[in-house]
Structure formats: structure tokens, C-alpha cells
């Protein structure tokens, strides 16, 4: 191997070391990664101090990460990489509902509930009644689709952030199944806008950039149905104060919904509610596999 490296020759020398890899895709990924990484360093004339700061930053990203704290994924979200991948791969186009990133608050083990269940599990808030329909691209209902849903409480916290209050129990998340007409419905409480976690290394970037750390009010959904592309998405409050400037770029126009406010009265499930409540209704379209 040459030892007379220059700024202009080193990239190819490093790239060639990947040519022995058996996997063609691996070769392509690493050759391209080296190219872009080196081009970046040349373009910005990266200094030694800046390199050290970056290495320290990456090390701290790893150290703070855990199964319930996904700081590396958060960085990807904040740099728009997660939504770039969504727009490249996860949105099948056509009339299918737009996808939006999973986020760090989806967790395994959520309860399976029948339609009509109250999934708030005792957490106080403004009642919210969600009614949805899952259809194919011809508008035909998809029965027996699995519908995962999760959202924050009225102060912007998820159950996994309220472990003391909830004694580790789940709340505001559930798995439902659509009926013969593709419908699902549940009762919960109304979520609110909230900040992405800012007490880790990603927070330093957000402060240095003077960027908003807020996510507009939203409800998460993840649909699975035999013969269809899975769909991960979110519905956003159309007139949220933070709409159009989601810190993680997921609040696409086609996902902005009316969370309709009602005076006390009869809810969509026929029950009487003696306080103001909110309804959210949406039709989700899945693309055939
Ligand atoms: C969320 O919506 O749960 C979320 C997504 C990305 C970063 C932080 C939170
Ligand atoms: Fe969320």
C-alpha cells in the first residue's frame, strides 16, 4: 500500500481496501461512505479540534442510549435522515396514506384491546374519541387489520416517561383490530405538543442551532394487514402552534387533521360525556404488497 498519501489520493486508497468484501452491497455502501466522508472533511477543511469534538459527541450519543433512550435515532430524526428514508421507501405513493417516522416511544408489550376500549388507563385529560377506517387503494375496507396506536398525555408525556405515576403500566397505547367494515375506534385523552428530549448530546446541537425542539400534537399509528405494505404514520393537529415546524420534519400537510372540540354531550360511542371532548376521525389507505 502506498505511504505517500496526499489529500487527493487517500480516498481511493481507503476505498480499495473494501474491494475484498464478499458482499457487493457492503462494498458499495463503504466505498460511498468513505467518498462522502472524505469529501466533507476536504470541503469544510475539518480541523483536528473539530474532529475531536465530533468523536466525543458520537461517544456520548452511545453512552446515553438505552432501550428506552434512543439518542442515535433522535440524531437521525433531527437531521432529517429518518424522514428522508420514509419519503424514499416507506411511502408507496398512489393514494396510500403518507408515512411518518416511528419515533422513540413505540414499545413492545402494549395491551391488546377491543374496539371501544378506553386506553387512557386512568390518566386524566380531555377525553378524545378516535374513529378510523382502514381501506385499500380502491376504497374497499380491510377487515382484521392490526392497528397499533400510541400518544402522549395532555402535558406531552408518554406512559414510559410517567413510570412513577403509572407504576410501570402502559397507558395511551394499544393494539386494536379492524371490524368487517375496516373500522376501529377507541377512547383516550387528548395529547399535546411536546419537546424532543434535549438533556442529551442532541440538545446541544438544537441549542447551538437555535432550532425549535417542539413536535406538534400528534397521535401515532402502525398498521399491519395481510397482503398490504405496513404503514407507520402520525396524525397532527392542523392548527397546533408548532405545525409546519416539527423538529423532526414529520408533520406533512396530508397528515394534518381536525381534532374537533365538542361541548359536553353525546360522544361518537353513544356515551354521555359531562366535560368538553375531542373527536378525531380519519381514513387510512394501505397499498397492496
Ligand atoms: C415521537 O413522535 O414520539 C418522536 C419522534 C422523534 C423524536 C422524538 C419523539
Ligand atoms: Fe410522538
Concatenating the DSSP letter of every residue in 17-73 gives TTTT-S-HHHHHHHHHHHHHHHHHHHHHT--HHHHHHHHHHHHHHHHH-BTTB-HHH
Position 67 scores a pLDDT of 78
Report the alpha-carbon angle 287-238-210, nearest 5: 105
Check whether residue 161 and residue 251 sit in a common domain. Answer: yes
| CATH number of the domain where residue 85 is located | 2.60.130.10
**C-alpha 111 to ligand 1 mean position (Å):** 21
Contact 6, 14 (CB under 8 A): no
Check whether residue 87 and residue 220 sit in a common domain. Answer: yes
- Kindly state the cell numbers that stand for 277: 371532548
Closest C-alpha to 194, from 216, 172, 173: 216
The closest residue, in CA terms, to atom 3 on ligand 1 is 103
Q: Is the CB of 103 under 6 A from ligand 1?
A: yes
Q: Is the CB of 251 under 6 A from ligand 1?
A: no
Any idea which ligand is nearest the CA of 195? Answer: 1
Instruction: With respect to residue 53, please indicate whether it lies within any of the assigned structural domains.
Output: no
d(CA 124, CA 122): 6
* Lowest mean pLDDT segment, chosen from 26-30, 158-162, 198-202: 158-162
d(CA 233, CA 216): 14
Work out the percent of the chain whose per-residue pLDDT is above 70.
98
The predicted model gives 170-195 an average pLDDT of: 98
d(CA 150, CA 152): 7
The predicted model gives 219-228 an average pLDDT of: 98
- Among the atoms of ligand 1, which is closest to the Cα of residue 196? 8
Check whether residue 33 and residue 87 sit in a common domain. Answer: no
Flag whether pLDDT at 52 surpasses 90: yes
Read off the pLDDT band of 66 (50, 70, 90): confident
Check whether residue 107 and residue 216 sit in a common domain. Answer: yes
* Lowest mean pLDDT segment, chosen from 82-91, 99-108, 241-250: 82-91
The predicted model gives 59-68 an average pLDDT of: 91
Check whether residue 94 and residue 236 sit in a common domain. Answer: yes
Task: Give, for 277, the enclosing helix (H) or strand (E).
Answer: strand 277-285
d(CA 36, CA 54): 16
Check whether residue 38 and residue 129 sit in a common domain. Answer: no
Q: Is the CB of 221 under 6 A from ligand 1?
A: no
Q: Is the CB of 248 under 6 A from ligand 1?
A: yes
Sign of CA dihedral 175, 180, 184, 187: negative
Contact 242, 214 (CB under 8 A): yes
Q: Is the CB of 215 under 6 A from ligand 1?
A: yes
Check whether residue 132 and residue 241 sit in a common domain. Answer: yes
The closest residue, in CA terms, to atom 8 on ligand 1 is 196
d(CA 230, CA 95): 15
Check whether residue 140 and residue 260 sit in a common domain. Answer: yes
Q: What is the mean pLDDT of the chain?
A: 95
Check whether residue 115 and residue 9 sit in a common domain. Answer: no
Position 53 scores a pLDDT of 98
Give residue-wise pLDDT tens across range 135-172. 999 999 999 999 999 999 999 999 998 988 999 899 99
The closest residue, in CA terms, to atom 2 on ligand 1 is 103
Instruction: With respect to residue 123, please indicate whether it lies within any of the assigned structural domains.
Output: yes
Instruction: With respect to residue 59, please indicate whether it lies within any of the assigned structural domains.
Output: no
> 3-state DSSP call for residue 142?
coil
**C-alpha 54 to ligand 1 mean position (Å):** 24
The predicted model gives 225-229 an average pLDDT of: 96
What is the domain count for the chain?
A: 2
- Among the atoms of ligand 1, which is closest to the Cα of residue 197? 8
From start to end of 82-172, where are the E strands? 127-135, 146-151
Position 89 scores a pLDDT of 81
Instruction: With respect to residue 233, please indicate whether it lies within any of the assigned structural domains.
Output: yes
Check whether residue 35 and residue 91 sit in a common domain. Answer: no
Check whether residue 115 and residue 201 sit in a common domain. Answer: yes
Q: Is the CB of 86 under 6 A from ligand 1?
A: no
- Among the atoms of ligand 1, which is closest to the Cα of residue 106? 3
Any idea which ligand is nearest the CA of 105? Answer: 1
Instruction: With respect to residue 65, please indicate whether it lies within any of the assigned structural domains.
Output: no
Flag whether pLDDT at 258 surpasses 90: yes
Position 193 scores a pLDDT of 98
The model scores a pTM over 0.75 = yes
Read off the pLDDT band of 1 (50, 70, 90): low
Closest C-alpha to 129, from 111, 121, 117: 117
Instruction: With respect to residue 235, please indicate whether it lies within any of the assigned structural domains.
Output: yes
Containing domain of residue 271, as a range? 81-285
Check whether residue 168 and residue 278 sit in a common domain. Answer: yes
Instruction: With respect to residue 61, please indicate whether it lies within any of the assigned structural domains.
Output: no
Position 210 scores a pLDDT of 98
Position 91 scores a pLDDT of 64
Instruction: With respect to residue 64, please indicate whether it lies within any of the assigned structural domains.
Output: no
- Pairing state between β 146-151 and 218-224: antiparallel
Give residue-wise pLDDT tens across range 82-103. 999 998 887 666 899 999 999 9
Any idea which ligand is nearest the CA of 219? Answer: 2
Amino acid at each position: 500500500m502506498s505511504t505517500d498519501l496526499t489529500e487527493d489520493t487517500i480516498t481511493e486508497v481507503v476505498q480499495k481496501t473494501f474491494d475484498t468484501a464478499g458482499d457487493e452491497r457492503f462494498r458499495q455502501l463503504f466505498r460511498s461512505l468513505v467518498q462522502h466522508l472524505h469529501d466533507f472533511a476536504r470541503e469544510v477543511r475539518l480541523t483536528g479540534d473539530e474532529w475531536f469534538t465530533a468523536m466525543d459527541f458520537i461517544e456520548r450519543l452511545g453512552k446515553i442510549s438505552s432501550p428506552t433512550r434512543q439518542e442515535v435515532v433522535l440524531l437521525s430524526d433531527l437531521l432529517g435522515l429518518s424522514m428522508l428514508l420514509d419519503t424514499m421507501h416507506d411511502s408507496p405513493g398512489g393514494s396510500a396514506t403518507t408515512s411518518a417516522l416511528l419515533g422513540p416511544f413505540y414499545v413492545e408489550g402494549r395491551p391488546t384491546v377491543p374496539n371501544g376500549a378506553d386506553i387512557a388507563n386512568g390518566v386524566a385529560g380531555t377525553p378524545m374519541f378516535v374513529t378510523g377506517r382502514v381501506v385499500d387503494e380502491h376504497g374497499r375496507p380491510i377487515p382484521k387489520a392490526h392497528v397499533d396506536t400510541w400518544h402522549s398525555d395532555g402535558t406531552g408525556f408518554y406512559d414510559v416517561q410517567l413510570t412513577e405515576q403509572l407504576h410501570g403500566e402502559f397507558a395511551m397505547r394499544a393494539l386494536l383490530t379492524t371490524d368487517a367494515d375496516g373500522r376501529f375506534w377507541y377512547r383516550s385523552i387528548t395529547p399535546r405538543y411536546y419537546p424532543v428530549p434535549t438533556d442529551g448530546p442532541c440538545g446541544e446541537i438544537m441549542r447551538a442551532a437555535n432550532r425549535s425542539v417542539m413536535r406538534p400534537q400528534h397521535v401515532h399509528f402502525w398498521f399491519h394487514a395481510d397482503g398490504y405494505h405496513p404503514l407507520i404514520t402520525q396524525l397532527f393537529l392542523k392548527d397546533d402552534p408548532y405545525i409546519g415546524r416539527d423538529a423532526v420534519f414529520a408533520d406533512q400537510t396530508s397528515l394534518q387533521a381536525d381534532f374537533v372540540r365538542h361541548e359536553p354531550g353525546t360522544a361518537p360511542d353513544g356515551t354521555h360525556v359531562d366535560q368538553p371532548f375531542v373527536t378525531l376521525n380519519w381514513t387510512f389507505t394501505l397499498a397492496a404488497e
